[in-house]
Amino acid sequence: MADVQWIKLYVDMFDKRKIKKIRRLPAGNEILLIWVMLLAIAGKCNAGGMIYITESVPFTEEDLADELGFDVNTIRLATKAFEDLGMISFTKKGFLCIDGWEEHQNTDRLSELREQARQRVAKSREKKRLQQECNVTGNATRNVTVTLRNAIEEEGEGKEKEIKNIEGGFHPPTLAEVEDYVSERGGKIDAKRFHDFYTANGWKKSGGDPILDWRAVVRAWERTEFRKPEESASTGSIDPEEFFAAAVRKSREKIGGG
């Protein structure tokens, strides 16, 4: 994923009810500063709003106190206030996630960065392909000409598809959008759990490919019976993270056995 060196703040942020409520708390201005610092850390991690020390090690309250320069009690008061106001959530493994992270990102600029990264990868692959073709045949000139023509045609097709994807634009849904869609379909899954799970992994499928249609993924969860917590005990449903991990292991076993 391309590096992002900025986050987006609205000029009317101090007029928002949640911000006003935070500032009325004891040490409210310090807590508000902690919020902005958490946004900055999430931008550095660049993982869909998830905050961590490493990808496998989440921040503890003590770690955040040391990182941000506040005492632990202020950090606890801040995280509780943010969680109560629906500004953050925690994954099952303890990772802190900024809810609605897409509101703090410039989606047009992100698309531009992704396109630049795609073009760099395409040029690198084209160069390697040309080198391989030259090594295979004794008539290097002829093969380079043919390969260049094919590369240009393939690049044109790939660029056209990429432009359609960018213009069509997958935009991660807000929690409210997921809740509305799940409700329309009878509330068979836990909307917040779904949103937290894919926000934490950057809205990617189990194989690492980006999600193009989140509503289709909701329907897949319904078919695989990822039920709400109160329904899980009776239906025998499994945790999504465990399910996808098991699917990947099974796939690898089939490949190895074949």
Q: Please state the domain count of the chain.
A: 3
- From 63, 81, 104, the end of a domain falls on 104
Note whether 158 and 127 are same-domain residues: yes
Please indicate, yes or no, if residue 7 is contained in any of the structural domains: no
Q: Does 75 map to a domain?
A: yes
Residues 90 and 163 in one domain: no
Same domain, 20 and 87: yes
Residues 74 and 116 in one domain: no
Q: How far apart are CA 126 and CA 155, in angstroms?
A: 9
Provide the pLDDT confidence category of residue 231 given band limits of 50, 70 and 90.
Answer: low
Residues 99 and 48 in one domain: yes
Last residue of a domain, one of 52, 83, 104: 104
Q: Which domain holds residue 181?
A: 175-257
Residue 2, domain member (yes or no): no
- B/e letters for 17-47, b = 16+ CB within 10 Å, e = fewer, are eebeebeeeebbebbbebbebbbebbbebeb
Local structure of residue 248 (DSSP, 8 states): H
- Domain end: 60, 89, 104, which one? 104
| Residue 144 confidence (pLDDT) | 47
Within a domain: 36: yes
Section 200-204 average pLDDT: 91
Say yes or no: 180 and 236 in one domain.
yes
| Residue 144 resides in a domain | yes
Whether residues 139 and 200 fall in one domain: no
Where residue 254 falls among pLDDT bands split at 50, 70, 90?
Answer: low
Mean pLDDT, rounded, for 16-24: 92
| Residue 116 domain-assigned (yes or no) | yes
Taking 70 as the threshold, does the pLDDT of residue 159 lie above it?
no
> Treating both helix axes as pointing N-terminal to C-terminal, what angle do 191-200 and 214-223 enclose, rounded to 10 degrees?
120
Structural domain includes residue 6: no
Give the Cβ contact number of residue 167 at 10 Å: 8
CA angle 141, 142, 147 (to 5 degrees): 100
In this structure, is residue 5 part of a structural domain? no
Q: What is d(CA 99, CA 90) in angstroms, rounded to the nearest whole number?
A: 10
Residues 100, 25 share a domain: yes
66, amino acid identity: D
- Condensed to tens digits (0 to 9), the pLDDT of residues 65-92 reads 999 999 999 999 999 999 999 999 999 9
Q: What tokens appear for 156 in the block? A: 């044109």
Taking 80 as the threshold, does the pLDDT of residue 178 lie above it? yes
Q: Are residues 197 and 243 in the same domain?
A: yes
Whether residue 209 sits in one domain with residue 134: no
Does residue 148 sit in the same domain as residue 231? no
